[in-house]
Amino acid sequence: MGTIVMGLMLLGVVPGCGEVRCGGKRISSDLDLISFCVPRGMRVESATGEHGDVHHTVRYRRYTLRMVSGPHYSAKRQEEFGAEWEVRSWESPHGERKEYRRDAGGLRSRYMTLAPNGWVEYSDAPAAVAKAFDGLLDSICWRPLGR
Instruction: Return mean pLDDT, the chain.
Output: 84
How many helices (H) and strands (E) the chain has is answered by 1, 12
- Under the banding of pLDDT at 50, 70 and 90, the label for residue 1 is very low
CB neighbours (10 Å) of residue 46? 13
pLDDT in tens, 105-139: 999 999 998 877 889 999 999 999 999 999 999 99
Looking at residues 101-106, what average pLDDT do you find?
95
pLDDT in tens, 68-79: 998 887 778 878
pLDDT in tens, 5-34: 333 233 346 788 988 889 899 999 888 888
CATH architecture of 3-11+24-142: 3-Layer(aba) Sandwich (3.40)
DSSP H or E segment with residue 136: helix 127-137
